[in-house]
Structure 1
Amino acid sequence: MGRAEERRARQRSARRAAPGRRTSSAAVGTGSSGIRRLFTWKKILGTFLGLCLLGIGGFVVLYLVVDVPQGNAAARQESNVYKYSNGSVMARVGEVNRESVDLSKVPKPVQRTFVAAENKTFYHDSGIDLKGTLRGVVNTLTGKGTQGGSTITQQYVKNYYLNQDQTVTRKLKEMVISLKVDRQMSKDAILAGYINTSYYGRNAYGIQAAAQAYYRKDADRLTVGEGAYLAALLQAPSQYDWAAAGPVGKKLVQARWNYVLDNMVKQGWLGASERQGMKFPVPKDPKGTPGEEGQKGYLVRLANQQLEKRLMDEQGMTATQAESAVVDRGWTITLNIDPRKQKVLERSVKAQLTSRLDPKQRSVDADVQAGAASVDPKTGKVVALYGGQDYFKHYVNNATRRDYQPASTFKPLIFASALEGSAQTQDGRPINANTVYDGTSGRQVLDHGAPVGFHPPNEDQHDYGHITVQQAMNQSVNSVFAQMGVDVGMDRVMSTAGRLGMDTKGMQAVPAQTLGSMGASPLEMAGIYATLDNHGRKVTPGVVAKAVLKNRVVTMPDPIGGQVISRNTADTVTSVLTGVVDDGTARDSVARNPARNGQEVAGKTGTSDEDRSAWFTGYTPDLVTSVGLFGEGAKPPHAQVSLRGTAGGGRVNGGTFPAEVWAAYTFGVTDQAAFDLQTTQGAAVQPTPTPTPTPSATPSTSPSPSPSDSGPTTSPSPSGTPSGTPSGTPSETLSPTPTRSLPTRRPTGGVSDNPLNPQDQGQP
């Protein structure tokens, strides 16, 4: 017997001796071989190739079936109809501003700016970006929205032959038609079609209309820099319109403009030295279109923007696609604007402000811009809005612009953050309406004994000595709220501001923000205060009630969201803010208005550095309105300027024109209602006691003619007032003696010591 036979004999013997093992091995072998037989590399490869052939075959069929349709871009333009909340027509907008020009009328360098901006391989590609198109199809199928990447040919096809719908069918048609168009038309013809059918904003379709709208010249006179701006616009026409863009939008469009020109240098279409010497060509101010005169243009623009945002969120459209799908497409858009309230607001601004301005006599009067937004806190509806004196004269909507500081109207958000987080002063005392701080002007803000390098002055350098949070809110004492912000933690303060509705993206959480040094709009502040008025439930103001396009109805999101701060916090802030009206910086303009007739009111004034902006944001139980006054140079570059001397007066603060406009409007449209507050703190639930003068805080007896919104008209002596501690210590000799003539609610809990503002002693 050979060795091989002996080895096989031993193996047979071993298998007979271990039958269980043999069975197990056989089972495993059978299973493994079964899986291997099911998933062989040949079958996997065959399946993959089969799917590829099926896809290719389907595309071939699609290519044969889909023809290039007749272009109908101009025919698809229809007027949009905008209605008030009662159904009456407010405006009809949509006369198409389009004038096609031959490509030979557009300078070659200007033509190339569009290629550099959108599709650098345009002159060499087959008309489609296969990778980008497939990515778009997959994203549409998976609900992830859309992404950029379309070629100029695809965008032209979408503009001229198809529409902006985000469907797989439309995307596949776009790809097929683009391939056919690229074979049937020259690149110059495609480029001409693209620049003549694109929407540039300002109701301008095509490069000729855009050249006139932005630079008041024909397309054949455009410079390379101007062409680069128009090319940059196509990414986001509304956001990048220089006249309406905020600081962020202007930075973005300048970055896009630089991107376009840098690409031209890389492609060899523009010399590096010529590029180096180019300056951004600021466009001219726009002109309105028929139907947009007065306040209508501001309302139309805001309605379009909110509908566009809804389409972007709901269908994954880009900003350009959404704008193209909304402007002049035949929508019937019903707004939440109440025509009666709108008329009263416009009339109030005229009576209290614009009728008193005389630019011929006073140059500062030409620099005054006003904006206001009024919101129903229970529904979130924007019921009235004032964007400026006339949309034809001032394109920027003052109600939505965010380039001016809200100043002291930010202080309630600091207090709300303190209450919401149960914050304490750095010496361990809970922060509430009765907490006493050191109100010394210019006092160094401390973080556990360490200076933070911030020591803001109070208005007119007034020193207050020991002062409660209620007093500090009434008189808008900067030094108190700067210290409170550090006590709470600026990260927490900005987080609370964000939850309440402030756009805090990109904002630094630094002590300087306690003075409201960020940008905000009247509409934004109205939404924040509406959330307070709505007991802490989030209010996102909505101007569009519904939008209908033929048989398609777009439902807008509910303006009322969930609870973002507790009801007790919101109601306590409201209670404290009633003191600003009855005992503080808004008293002369609001509390003493004869039309008030006992109506309960809460609110806050604000005035920014150098009087460049002045605010009053106030509310009754059923209406929140924010009024802003902005100093904007009447001549380009429209820089921010001081409002001092407006209407022949002196300083302008939130307690003057803004509060006067607010009161005239609010008391003209609201019914009597009482706040339903769940709190035991603040001016609304307790009378305000008078402090007994002490050596550390002796009130002056010489009142100033009018209250300031960042400081009182009289000031306590600072002598003996500590300034080296994070917050002051309560005076032990305060004697509670009610003196307020308009307490809005009887106490619902224990009355604690709450010193009356020294300003009110001896005054009516």
Structure 2
Amino acid sequence: MGAFIVLYMVIDIPEGNADAELQSNVYEYSDGTIMARDGDRNREIVDLARVPKDVQRTFVAAENKTFYKDGGVDLKGTARGVLNTLSGKGAQGGSTITQQYVKNYYLTQDQTVSRKLKELVISLKLDREKSKDYILAGYINTSYYGRGAYGIQAAAQAYYRVDAEDLTVEQGAYLAALLQAPNQYDWAIASDTGKKLVQQRWNYVLDNMVEQKWLDPGERGAMKFPVPQEPKAAPGMEGQTGYLVEAANTAVKKQLVEQGVAEDLEQAKALLDRGGYTITLNIDKKKQKALEKAVKERLTSKLDPKKRKVDADVQAGAVSVDPRTGKVVAMYGGVDYVKHYTNNATRQDYQPASTFKPVILAAAVEKGAETQDGVPITADTLYDGDSEHPVTDDGKEVGFAPPNEDDTNYGEIPVQEAMNKSVNSVFAQMGVDVGMTEVMRVAGELGMSEDLDPYPAQTLGSMGASPLQMAGVYATLANHGKKVTPSIVKTVEHKDRTLEMPDPVGQSVISRRAADTVTSVLTGVVDDGTAKASVRDNPLRDGQQVAGKTGTSDNNKSAWFTGYTPELVTSVGLFGEDDKEPHPQVPMYKAGGVDHRVNGGGFPAEIWAAYTFGVMDEVKKFDLETEQGSGVKPTRSPTQSETPSQTPSQEPTTEEPTTSAPPQTSSAPPTSEPPSQTPTTQPPTSSSPPPTFELPGGPDEPLNNDRE
């Protein structure tokens, strides 16, 4: 008691601490020039009289029911917090609104005994010297609500687009509930668990108000949860800037946790939001502008929602990576951050489709896999390429028989040509030959999501992936199998710390032989496959060797081209997203004035070529350690009199499948090694119709023959 009296006498109410004077963060391009500042703190102090009385009470009901009666402290809660701190159990135990305000405005967030004792004394003195309304006003004006909003006025605008004086009780209860965990409870980004928890917290607040007789039970029973509006970007984040800043912040928060500076992402965000950071990105200003220009010239300038409603539903995303360093040198997140909040470059909710096929081949070569007939899988191995050919495992059908694009039958076809023409039936069988568990393991090693389900339909790229992830996968191939984890942040500096970012280039995850073989095969897609129209014959190419793969998903909801030169990997994705909330995935048929569907060899490949060849400094060849694929074989360009090779966009053939190998294409002349003698499986007969099957996604998304 004597010690406490001494503390009470020597500790005065201080001025607001430095943490209350929040700073901006500065974001720079790789050359050190300023990209953006996150601006002044999004806060506007409002008088408590402007906040409806019932809304004021939602905060009291949420945090401190006895606020109007207590002395400003919770002695039991504080004692419990001190004991937990001393015993190493962390920050546990409750505190009053007064104590929370003192911690926010006068002290720091440090969990130390001295800070807790100061909090106790200052809270007691503040409660004696100031009114409850003064303390409550300070509390709701200094608290952080998520979405960059500090104080109730900014929070009201951020979540409901209204001023604090126009908030309803239901809305106030949601904002009061948010204070417990702003990021976890933000409806726009919350997980299913987070949404459930915030609704429980919302109910808790209103029930407490009934208990305190601040709310009529009948009115309470009629109240419905007020779902907040979608986030609105902060001023100054227009165009691509907001997407770049958002991606950089995500990387910094993750690193703050991994280095132990923050315990979790919630605390990491709080640290970042306090400001004072200078974050230099790997973004190359020249390449960034070139990528934006390529998207505008090759896509957005051709979209006219007034002529075609579908044009309003087309979203583009792209990521460009230097495979030697792992640096993200350019990123396109969408038409404008203030108009389309979701970053299309990092979203993972659309299927990568046939851009996944190279992963299957990589797994096959890495494992040294064989066909069902015991033939080693190489670029020359023959497969049955007929549409809807049943996939077999150890001689038994697995219940999966995917159609090729436009139901085209190819008969017996080598792997190189199957990759060029993106033949679904071949890679579905190859995935089972390799083993789907192995294919999914390699996918994870290369940079896709971990723990992908190993069912055969995944060979069609039916999982979700982002342009950022696919750029990483292909960058690892381009880097001869050494793992590339694309990095957007170069350096992070703060007056209190220098944050070390991880090396984007790691150890080999697949052999150089496997990676180089896939690269060699993918040159055929450009020279004699689905990307030749947009890439091979581009006048800016100047002889540059290119590897890449197109992809078009079910019902034309996504279209991709991911390709690379020895020095630059770029993944471009187009996504069909309804421009009306809640923004479901939709088809893109005839968008931009195309005759039928939007293919990966169309707009995505055109964007890729315009950007890549536009920023290319010099022509270089791949350094490949493999004897397989188009990249290591002599090639010739077809003359004008020659008929182009069959592509998946042609009408289905009426010829019966051949029983011998087809003639070699111009991109794959015979080698010294003879091709396999037989296909891996026999073509289906008319008396044995292919089994039915379904892709994941439910009855509203049936598999069709649009996918390549």
If the length of structure 2 is used for normalisation, what is the TM-score? 0.83
Q: Note if 1:398 corresponds to 2:348.
A: no
* Matched ranges for 1:744-755 at <5 A: 750=672, 753=675
Provide the rounded CA distance (Å) in 2 between the counterparts of 1:152 and 1:499.
49
**Maintained 8 Å contact 2:101/2:135:** yes
Report deviation, 1:82. Answer: 1.3
**Structure 1: runs of 5+ lacking an equivalent:** 1-55, 141-145, 691-700, 722-730, 756-764
**Maintained 8 Å contact 2:412/2:662:** no
Provide the rounded CA distance (Å) in 2 between the counterparts of 1:148 and 1:609.
50
Report deviation, 1:272. Answer: 10
Map of 1:177 onto structure 2: 118
Map of 1:500 onto structure 2: 446
What's the RMSD between the two structures over aligned residues? 3.7
Match of 1:676 among 623, 626, 629: 623
Report deviation, 1:451. Answer: 3.4
Q: Note if 1:159 corresponds to 2:100.
A: no
Map of 1:347 onto structure 2: 293
Map of 2:433 onto structure 1: 487
- Which residue identity does 1:683 align to in structure 2? S
Report deviation, 1:449. Answer: 3.5
- Which residue identity does 2:144 align to in structure 1? Y
Q: Note if 1:474 corresponds to 2:401.
A: no
Match of 1:295 among 233, 240, 243: 240
Report deviation, 1:126. Answer: 3.5
Match of 2:486 among 541, 547, 564: 541
What percentage of aligned pairs have identical amino acids?
Answer: 59
Report deviation, 1:318. Answer: 2.5
SS at match of 1:87: coil
Provide the rounded CA distance (Å) in 2 between the counterparts of 1:474 and 1:155.
63
* Matched ranges for 1:403-552 at <5 A: 403-504=349-450, 507-550=452-495, 552=497
Map of 2:152 onto structure 1: 207
Map of 1:739 onto structure 2: 666
- Which residue identity does 1:719 align to in structure 2? E
Report deviation, 1:573. Answer: 1.4
Provide the rounded CA distance (Å) in 2 between the counterparts of 1:427 and 1:265.
68
Map of 1:325 onto structure 2: 271
- Which residue identity does 1:540 align to in structure 2? T
SS at match of 1:684: helix
Map of 2:633 onto structure 1: 686
Deviates more, 1:410-419 or 1:605-614: 410-419
**Maintained 8 Å contact 2:84/2:92:** no
String of CA shifts for 1:36-61, please: whole Å, max 9, x gaps. xxxxxxxxxxxxxxxxxxxx999999
Q: Note if 1:719 corresponds to 2:656.
A: yes
Match of 2:280 among 322, 329, 334: 334
Classify 1:703/1:675 alpha carbon distance in 2 versus 1 (closer, same or farther; 3 Å). Answer: closer
- Which residue identity does 1:373 align to in structure 2? V
String of CA shifts for 1:110-169, please: whole Å, max 9, x gaps. 5676678778999894484666676667769xxxxx7787757565455323445xx6xx
Classify 1:754/1:421 alpha carbon distance in 2 versus 1 (closer, same or farther; 3 Å). Answer: closer
**Maintained 8 Å contact 2:185/2:198:** no
* Higher relative contact order (CA closer than 8 Å, sequence separation 6+): 2
Provide the rounded CA distance (Å) in 1 between the counterparts of 2:6 and 2:374.
77
Map of 2:682 onto structure 1: none
Provide the rounded CA distance (Å) in 2 between the counterparts of 1:522 and 1:591.
22
String of CA shifts for 1:369-405, please: whole Å, max 9, x gaps. 1111111111111111111111121111111111212
SS at match of 2:430: helix
**Maintained 8 Å contact 1:703/1:714:** no
**Maintained 8 Å contact 2:382/2:676:** no
Provide the rounded CA distance (Å) in 2 between the counterparts of 1:533 and 1:58.
68
**Maintained 8 Å contact 1:127/1:179:** no
Match of 1:308 among 253, 266, 285: 253
Provide the rounded CA distance (Å) in 2 between the counterparts of 1:120 and 1:580.
67
Provide the rounded CA distance (Å) in 2 between the counterparts of 1:482 and 1:317.
43
Provide the rounded CA distance (Å) in 1 between the counterparts of 2:441 and 2:58.
42
Provide the rounded CA distance (Å) in 1 between the counterparts of 2:426 and 2:65.
57
Match of 2:588 among 636, 639, 643: 643
* Matched ranges for 1:78-117 at <5 A: 78-101=23-46, 106=51
Aligned positions, number: 657
- Which residue identity does 1:739 align to in structure 2? S
SS at match of 1:595: coil
Report deviation, 1:209. Answer: 0.5
**Maintained 8 Å contact 1:234/1:320:** no
**Maintained 8 Å contact 1:113/1:261:** no
Provide the rounded CA distance (Å) in 1 between the counterparts of 2:317 and 2:663.
43
- Which residue identity does 1:180 align to in structure 2? V
Map of 2:303 onto structure 1: 357
SS at match of 1:604: strand
Map of 1:5 onto structure 2: none
String of CA shifts for 1:558-579, please: whole Å, max 9, x gaps. 1112221222111111111111
Deviates more, 1:648-657 or 1:97-106: 97-106
* Matched ranges for 1:27-42 at <5 A: none
- Which residue identity does 1:335 align to in structure 2? L
Map of 1:256 onto structure 2: 197
Map of 1:198 onto structure 2: 143
Provide the rounded CA distance (Å) in 1 between the counterparts of 2:86 and 2:472.
38
Report deviation, 1:328. Answer: 5.4
Map of 2:697 onto structure 1: none
String of CA shifts for 1:588-617, please: whole Å, max 9, x gaps. 111111111111111111112111111111
- Which residue identity does 1:300 align to in structure 2? V
- Which residue identity does 2:425 align to in structure 1? S
Map of 1:658 onto structure 2: 604
Map of 2:511 onto structure 1: 566
Map of 1:30 onto structure 2: none
- Which residue identity does 2:198 align to in structure 1? W
Classify 1:441/1:735 alpha carbon distance in 2 versus 1 (closer, same or farther; 3 Å). Answer: closer
Classify 1:545/1:681 alpha carbon distance in 2 versus 1 (closer, same or farther; 3 Å). Answer: same
**Maintained 8 Å contact 1:686/1:751:** no
- Which residue identity does 2:588 align to in structure 1? L
- Which residue identity does 2:124 align to in structure 1? R
- Which residue identity does 1:425 align to in structure 2? T
If the length of structure 1 is used for normalisation, what is the TM-score? 0.77
SS at match of 1:630: strand
**Maintained 8 Å contact 2:12/2:122:** no
Larger Rg: 1
Provide the rounded CA distance (Å) in 2 between the counterparts of 1:462 and 1:272.
66
